[in-house]
Amino acid sequence: MHDFQYKNGELCCEDVPVRTIAQRVGTPFYVYSATTLASHFRAFDRAFGGVPHLICFAVKSNPSSALLHLLGKEGSGADIVSGGELFRALRAGIDPKKIVYAGVGKRRDEIEYALKMDILMFNVESGEELQAIDRAAGDMRTRARVALRINPNIDAKTHPYISTGLKQNKFGIAIEQALEYYQMAKGLPHVDVVGIHQHIGSQITEVQPFVDALVKTTAFVKELRAAKINIQYINIGGGLGITYKDETPPLPQELAASVRPILADCGCTIVMEPGRAIVGNAGILVTSVLYHKEAEQKKFLIVDAGMNDLIRPSLYEAYHDIRPVVQQPAAETAVADVVGPICESGDFLAKDREMPMVKQGELLAVMGAGAYGYSMSSNYNSRPRVPEILVRGGEYFVIHERETYNDLVKGEKLPRWLD
Ligand code: LLP
C-alpha cells in the first residue's frame, strides 16, 4: 500500500504529479510520501495495540532528518547502529529512552556517547563488547542497560547478503552459548540486563521464520528467568518484507497475530525494529532517459541514475519495478537493460526487462526505493548525491538539497609540498 498512483495518466505522489517535481529540481531525485510513511508506522502501532510495545524505526533504512522527525512525532523510537545514527535520531527529537543500539562493532567513543545520552539499551553482540560497555560505564560512573542479541539459527529464506540469523552469520550470540553470556553480564558491576534481542534477516516474506525464532527465544527467556535473570524487553527485530514484484509478505497485523500468542505470557514489553516495511514503498527514485543503445544482442535504456544512487539491483540483484512517469499506452515495448552512467558493468537498475520504449528526456520511476536507497548511495564516479523531496497532500518540499561539485571536495586538503 502506498500513495504513488496514476491520475489522468500521470504518476503522482499523493496529489503532486511527479513531473512537476522533476521540472523544479531536475533528475534524478528521491521522493517520499508522508502519508504512506505515517500510515505504515500506524499499521505497526495498531497491530501491537493493547500490549506494551515500542517501535524503533531502523534508521539505517532511511536516515533522512525530515523522515525521522515525522516518525518521531508519530511516537517512533529508533534502532541505531552507529554514533552517527544516534546523532541523527537525537537531532530529530527522538527520546533517548526509545533508542536501542545494535551492531557488532561499536567503538568506545560511540558507547560513551550512547551512555551519556542514556539510551534505552545496547543490543550486545559479543562477550568482549559486553566487557567494553561495562568498562566504559564504570569509567563514566554510570550503568548500562543491555540486551543480548541472540542468534537463533533460523533460516529467514531471504537473500544470503541480508540474512542474519544463521550460525554462519557474524551477528548475535549463538543461542546455545547465550546463557553463559547472560551469566557473565549479570556478574558485571556496571551493567543491568534488561532484555533479549533477535533480528534474523531482512525482506522476509513469510511469518514462519519469525514464529520459529520467537518460539526458541521465548523458551530461552524462561530458562533465563529460572536462572534469576529478569528479562523485561523482547526485541523481535525488523525484517518484514515488502512487495517489490509479486511477493505477498504478511502485513504488520498478520505478523502480530502470529507472534502475539507466543509472546502473550512473557510479561515483557515488545520492541521491534522495522525499516523497510515502513519506508520501502513510501519512496521512489525518479530518473530521465538519456539515450537508447542497441548492441548486437541487447538493448539498453541509459538513464541518469546509477548504482551510486541505488545500489540494490547491483548488490543483491534486487528487483525494482520501473514505470514511466507519464503513461504511454501506445508505446512499443522491448526487452532491455536499464543502465546508469557509472563505469561498471554491474551498473544496472533492471536486466532483461520488458520496458515501454520511452523517448529521450522522458521520466521513469524506480518504485520501492524508499529503504536502502538514498541511505546506501555514494559519490562514486564523483556524482553528487541527488535531492530528496517529501510530499504531503498537494505540497512538496525539498528536504535534502542536491549536492554540488563543491560538496564533492569538501574537507579535502593539499599537503604543503603540493601547493
Ligand atoms: N534491526 C537490525 C538489527 C538490523 O540489522 C536491520 C537491518 C533492521 C533492524 C531493519 O531491517 P528491515 O526491517 O529494514 O528489514 N541493504 C539491504 C538490507 C540490509 C538490512 C540490514 N539490517 C537491502 O537493501 O535489502
**pLDDT tens for each residue of 194-230:** 999 999 999 999 999 999 999 999 999 999 999 999 9
Grid coordinates in use for 336? 532491455
* Closest residue by CA, ligand 1 atom 24: 372
User: How confident is residue 330, by pLDDT bands cut at 50, 70 and 90?
Assistant: confident
Residues in the ligand 1 pocket, defined by CB under 6 Å = 58, 60-61, 79, 102, 162, 199, 202-203, 237-240, 273-277, 312, 316, 371-372
To which residue does cell 563514566 refer?
140
User: How confident is residue 298, by pLDDT bands cut at 50, 70 and 90?
Assistant: very high
- Whether 331 maps to a domain, the answer reads no
Please report the pLDDT score of residue 161 as a whole number: 72
Distance (angstroms) between ligand 1 centre and the Cα of 201 equals 7
Does position 160 have pLDDT exceeding 80, yes or no? no
Distance (angstroms) between ligand 1 centre and the Cα of 81 equals 11
- pLDDT tens digits along 166-183: 677 788 899 999 999 999
85: three-class secondary structure by DSSP: helix
- Whether 106 maps to a domain, the answer reads yes
Q: How many structural domains does the chain have?
A: 1
Instruction: Tell which one of 44, 71, 158, 202 to mutate to probe ligand 1, the residue whose CB is within 8 A of the most ligand atoms.
Output: 202
Does position 165 have pLDDT exceeding 70, yes or no? no
- pLDDT tens digits along 70-87: 999 999 999 999 999 999
Count of C-beta atoms within a 10 Å radius of residue 95: 15
Please report the pLDDT score of residue 331 as a whole number: 82
- Whether 18 maps to a domain, the answer reads no
Instruction: Tell which one of 61, 104, 148 to mutate to probe ligand 1, the residue whose CB is within 8 A of the most ligand atoms.
Output: 61
Grid coordinates in use for 314? 547491483
- Whether 127 maps to a domain, the answer reads yes
- Whether 152 maps to a domain, the answer reads yes
Grid coordinates in use for 304? 541518469
Count of C-beta atoms within a 10 Å radius of residue 1: 11
Query: What totals of helices (H) and strands (E) does the chain contain, helices first?
Result: 12, 21
Threshold 0.75, pTM exceeds: yes
Grid coordinates in use for 412? 579535502
- pLDDT tens digits along 349-376: 999 999 999 999 999 999 999 999 999 9
400 - beta bridge partners? 388
Q: Which atom of ligand 1 is nearest to the CA of 311?
A: 24
Q: Which atom of ligand 1 is nearest to the CA of 275?
A: 14
> Cα(388)–Cα(381) distance, rounded to whole angstroms?
20
Q: Are 29 and 22 in contact (CB under 8 A)?
A: yes
Q: Are 91 and 59 in contact (CB under 8 A)?
A: no
Distance (angstroms) between ligand 1 centre and the Cα of 56 equals 12
Please report the pLDDT score of residue 329 as a whole number: 83
Count of C-beta atoms within a 10 Å radius of residue 23: 11
- Domain at 199, CATH number: 3.20.20.10
Distance (angstroms) between ligand 1 centre and the Cα of 225 equals 30
Instruction: Tell which one of 59, 60, 157 to mutate to probe ligand 1, the residue whose CB is within 8 A of the most ligand atoms.
Output: 60
Please report the pLDDT score of residue 337 as a whole number: 98
- Whether 408 maps to a domain, the answer reads no
343 counts as catalytic: yes
Q: Are 185 and 195 in contact (CB under 8 A)?
A: no
Domain holding 81, by residue range, is: 34-277
> Cα(337)–Cα(353) distance, rounded to whole angstroms?
6
Distance (angstroms) between ligand 1 centre and the Cα of 6 equals 30
Percent of the chain beyond pLDDT 90?
Answer: 92
- pLDDT tens digits along 14-56: 999 999 999 999 999 999 999 999 999 999 999 999 999 999 9
- Whether 419 maps to a domain, the answer reads no
Please report the pLDDT score of residue 396 as a whole number: 98
User: How confident is residue 158, by pLDDT bands cut at 50, 70 and 90?
Assistant: confident
- Whether 12 maps to a domain, the answer reads no
Please report the pLDDT score of residue 231 as a whole number: 97
Rounded mean pLDDT of the chain? 96
For residues 114-120, give the mean pLDDT.
98
Distance (angstroms) between ligand 1 centre and the Cα of 238 equals 7
